[in-house]
Each structure stands twice: as C-alpha cells, then as structure tokens.
Amino acid sequence: MCAVDKTAIGFLGLGAYVPERVLTNYDLEQMVDTSNDWIVTRTGIRERRICAPGEGAVAIATESARRALEDAKLAVDDIDLIICCTFTSETLCPSAACQVQRNLGATRPIPAFDLAAACSGFIYGCSVAASFIRSGVYRRVLVIGVDAISKFIDWSDRNTCVLFADGGGAAVLGQVEEGHGLLGQSLGADGSGADAIRLLSSGVADPFSATAMNGHRSTITMNGHDVFKFATRILGTAVEEALADAGQGLKAADLDLIIPHQANVRIIESAAKKLKLPMDRFVINIDKFGNTSAGTVPLAMNDARQDGRLKPGTLFAVVAFGGGLTYAASIWRW
Ligand code: UT7
C-alpha cells in the first residue's frame, strides 16, 4: 500500500473494443466435454468474443485507444506516454504500445511501453500513469488494457477454454477537477502463487502455425482451485485496503459502484458478501465477454458509463486479481 497525493488525477476519456466473432457456450459444447448449463452456473459466462484470423491484441488495443482519444476529444499527439497492459501481444518486441503509437499516426516520439501484470494490468497501469502525472513528468497518459487469450488457449482443455476470451479498453488519464479522480489504491503480488497461471512464452504472431514453435504451441495453464481461493480472499481485502488508503473515513458502503475483474461471477458474489454489499452495486458483464484478462476492467467501465451507472460524481472502486499472482484496487470519484 502507498499513500496517494491528493492532486486530482482522473479519467479524461474511455473507449473499448471487442472482436466481432461470438463464441457461445453451445459452440463450446461441440468442441469439448462441457455444457452451457455447467458454464453458466459455475462461471456466469454465456458467450465471449474471439479474434478473427490476423486480428490480435494490437488491433484491439489500437481501436480501444482511438475510441478513448475521441471520447477525450484529444489527438494522439496530445498524449505524453502510452502504456499497453497485456501479456498476449503478437510480438514481445516491438511492444504492443509502440505498434499502437504507429497505428494511431503519432508524429511525435511519444514514449511507449508494455506492462505485464496479467488481469491486474489495467489498474497497475493507471497507477503508473497517475504517478507520472503527479510528479509533473507527463500531463496526459494513454493506458490500454487488452488481451487476446484465444491465441494461447488449448481448445481441448475445458479448464481454461470456457473462461478466457479477447477484448479490451483504454483510458486517457490527466488532471481533473479538485475532489474528483484517484483517491486511494492498493497494489500487490504474491509470487508464492506464481505457478497457478502460466504462459511459458508469448509473442507468436501466428500461434496456430505448425512451425511457429517447432510444432509446439505455448498455451495457458491454470490451477483453477488455487486461483479461486486467492481471488475470494483478495478481492474484498484489496478494496478495503484501497479505501483505507483514501482516508476520509470512507467505507465500502459509501461506494456507489464496484467494477471488478470479470473472472467468475461466484468470485464477485463472494467479494460482495465480504464487503457486505448488494450485488446490484457491482458491474457485471462476464455473461457477454468472459474473462479478457487486462481487458475486463476498462471494458466494464465503458459498459457502466454507457449504461449511465458511471457518471460525474460517482464514487467507485476498480479491483482485479490474476497471474503472478497479482492484485490491485483503486478508489476514484468520476
Ligand atoms: O483471471 C484470473 C483467471 N482465473 C480464474 O479466476 C479462475 C478461478 N477459478 C475458477 O473460476 C474455477 O475454479 C473454475 C471455473 C476454473 C472451475 O470451477 P469449479 O467450481 O472449481 O469446478 P471444479 O474444478 O471443482 O470441478 C467440478 C466438476 C468436476 O467434475 P467432478 O469431479 O465433480 O465429476 C470437473 O471435472 O466440474 C467438472 N468440470 C467441468 N465440467 C464441465 C470442470 N470443468 C468443466 C467444464 N465443463 N468446463
């Protein structure tokens, strides 16, 4: 935990993008030994989006960023830093962030880098952005949270293939009106759980090609039980730590909205119980998009904004956990 300077740093614009192709639970029934009923009751997922051939994390990141800039009424050259939070980019070098900078047509040498904190990536990225802005180094930072996990799925592994999906979102951060923006945060990692979610290598532009990995494609593996245990413990705790960091006597009951990582609706229900909050205080869109890792939080923020639940004055928490095992929560007033 670390104290947040009270300089008002918040969201100037938001955008999100998901691939067009829909993969339903019924489609998965044809691919692996599972059922729509099992997936809905055990996870809350009904369908998810999957990249078209040739589409990947960079394309999702570029379109999300373009929409966030449009929402902020800014051009790419108004941005001082680009952070792309992902662990499933097509290439390890160049970074996804540099490719987004090129795709957006930047004419200035805007610094750009990727940040890998798995599903906690977007909240980590917003924290890094806020630190740069608070210290006066940069004025406006574009933070993108995106993953294209379908590229790294073993489609015969029902433990993972029913959960993960592709999509993402982006935000422009900068100075906002006093009393709004980032109020508190809690970032953490428990490396003792490092083996719970693993992807041995990334950066394969065409992971389906037989020659890409000498015939072996790197796919994601997960110990679902260990992650579930960690998640149910950490989600509520991280929000409470971020509230304590915000000070002002803020309590969970004061939050208008909680925007959690969309990994499993049962994990969100357990956080609601721990925080003693009704489920209608949580933003849930896992039914439509599944788990897009670093993409879930900006995607859910964007949905909440479009539904009118996230509006000027809303006091909200974002919270996530994931591979690493990492976790992150922050408290904001829109
Ligand atoms: O972003 C972070 C990423 N990861 C997570 O957040 C994952 C956290 N973990 C989970 O969400 C859950 O552990 C899973 C959804 C992965 C699994 O749910 P579960 O309730 O822990 O199921 P389970 O592994 O205990 O399996 C229960 C039963 C087993 O059958 P038996 O032994 O009771 O006959 C499994 O073989 O369900 C079976 N099963 C399935 N059945 C149909 C496991 N996966 C499936 C499946 N379809 N996809």
264-306 residue pLDDT tens: 999 999 999 999 999 999 999 999 999 999 999 999 999 999 9
Decide if pLDDT at 258 tops 80.
yes
Distance 14 CA to ligand 1 centre (A): 33
For the segment 145-150, the average pLDDT, to the nearest whole number, is 96
Residue 80 DSSP symbol: S
Distance CA 29, CA 52 (A): 20
Q: Where are the domains of the chain?
A: 4-179, 182-333
Q: Determine the atom of ligand 1 nearest the C-alpha atom of 225.
A: 13
Mutate to test the pocket of ligand 1, among 35, 42, 86 (most ligand atoms within 8 A of CB): 42
Decide if pLDDT at 55 tops 60.
yes
Lowest mean pLDDT among 30-39, 115-124, 125-134, 206-215: 206-215
Question: Confidence class of residue 7 from pLDDT cuts 50, 70 and 90?
Answer: confident
For the segment 227-231, the average pLDDT, to the nearest whole number, is 96
Ligand 1 binding pocket, CB closer than 6 Å: 34, 38, 42-43, 119, 158-159, 162, 222, 224-225, 227-228, 231, 263-264, 291, 322
pLDDT tens-digit map of 168-220: 999 999 999 999 999 999 999 999 999 999 998 755 655 555 455 555 668 99
Assigned CATH topology for domain 182-333? Peroxisomal Thiolase; Chain A, domain 1 (3.40.47)
The whole model's pTM is what?
A: 0.94
Q: Of 165, 189, 174, which is closest to residue 295 (Cα–Cα)? A: 165
Give the residue numbers annotated as catalytic, written as ranges. Answer: 119, 261, 291
Question: Confidence class of residue 3 from pLDDT cuts 50, 70 and 90?
Answer: very low
End-to-end, the C-alpha distance of the chain in Å comes to 22
Q: Determine the atom of ligand 1 nearest the C-alpha atom of 296.
A: 1
Q: Which residues of 124-150 are buried (b: 16+ CB within 10 A; e: fewer)?
A: bbbbbbbbbbbeeebebbbbbbbbbbb
Task: Indicate which residue's Cα is closest to atom 18 of ligand 1.
Answer: 42
Distance 118 CA to ligand 1 centre (A): 20
Question: Confidence class of residue 230 from pLDDT cuts 50, 70 and 90?
Answer: very high
Q: Class assignment of domain 4-179?
A: alpha beta
Q: Is the omega angle on the peptide bond into residue 325 within 30 degrees of 0, that is, cis?
A: yes
Q: Determine the atom of ligand 1 nearest the C-alpha atom of 43.
A: 15
Distance 257 CA to ligand 1 centre (A): 28
Q: Do domains 4-179 and 182-333 have the same CATH topology?
A: yes
